[in-house]
Amino acid sequence: MIAIFGLGNPGREYEMTRHNVGFMVVDEIAKKLEIDFKPGKGDYLISPGKYKGSEFLLVKPLTYMNNSGIAVKDVVERFKLDLKDVFVICDDLNLPLGVIRLRQKGSDGGHNGLYSVIYHLKTTDFPRLRCGIGNPEKMRNMVDFVLSRFDDDEIDKLNEMIGQAVEATFCFISDGILTAMNRFNKKVKPKDKTP
């Protein structure tokens, strides 16, 4: 059994905010497969699904971003999941908007949701998908930035990225993390520094 965790904050005030990209991706997967989220036995919403013969769970922790690991650990223990079958989807300040990056394992990269997952699972050894939300140099308060909504002129790029993240997740489910990394990790072009 594979569990796909989309990280985000519950509540209408957080809908369409940058920090909720993880929720957006799993919502889109559920929509594509015509499956619904229901309350789980812990602090999360859950939706069982099947893709190309592989069974999986979509999970949206309701513990708020900074405590995501509580819900992740609960699901991992309840369903006796192997860590290689735990797939965490979250936003990433360090990637440009529209860029996705898959990793087999790694640090939290300064992301509080990933930090919580690592803390509660007591390991960095689980696959994850990070979705770029940009990082404007002029904005000093990153909390305000990640909790801000996407601008109108960013929506097309956001939707394209969510589509890519959905396809990458399907690839992970059917073919594993290495194939998904090879297929979906693209090099980020350096910014043009020409005046």
Binding residues for tRNA are 14, 64, 66, 112
The kind and range of the H/E element at 99 are none
Residues in the chain: 195
Helices (H), the chain: 21-33, 68-78, 112-121, 142-146, 155-175, 177-184
The SS3 of residue 157 is helix
Upper half-sphere CA count for residue 125 (Cβ side, 13 Å): 5
- CA nearest to 19, candidates 68, 87, 69: 68
Distance CA(79)–CA(194), nearest Å, equals 53
Catalytic residue (one of 19, 60, 73, 101): 19
Active site residue 111: no
Is residue 104 within 8 Å of residue 181, measured between CB atoms? yes
Annotated binding site: 14, 64, 66, 112
Residues known to be catalytic: 19
